[in-house]
Amino acid sequence: MAEDEKKYSKQLIGKTVVSKTGKTFGNVGDLVFETNSGELIHIILGSPTAYSKKLELEKSKTGESLIPFSAVIAMGDFLVVAEEDII
């Protein structure tokens, strides 16, 4: 991966999370990663929308909604996720 293609976690925090059909889930509140490998595991939703609250998303131990990072298909101004990989 070229240096200019790298994304740092601080660049992802606060970005809006949307599905590829345009449904808004909330924003990136925090990230969960594997400490040994650095692999990103989950996105913790900050300010979840009414739509995302209706879905049966996985929850953290503290009740925060989680989206598997493997569902992310694009990162730019928004984080675009494949909704079928979430629910």
Q: Render each residue's pLDDT in the chain as its tens digit; 87 residues.
A: 345 567 777 889 999 999 999 999 999 999 999 999 988 999 999 999 999 999 989 999 999 999 999 999 999 999 999 999 887
Chain Cα centroid distance, residue 23 = 13
Cα–Cα distance for residue pair 67/9, rounded to 1 Å: 15
Domain 3-85, what fold? SH3 type barrels. (2.30.30)
Tell the residue number behind the tokens 């990230």, with chain if given: 31
Burial-class residue 86 by CB neighbours within 10 Å (0-12, 13-18, 19+): buried
- Select from 6, 8, 27 the least CA-distant residue to 81: 27
pTM of this prediction?
0.85
Domain boundaries, the chain: 3-85
Token representation of residue 48: 């979840």
- Contact, 32 vs 11, CB < 8 A? no
Q: What's phi and psi for 71, nearest 5 deg? A: -80, -10
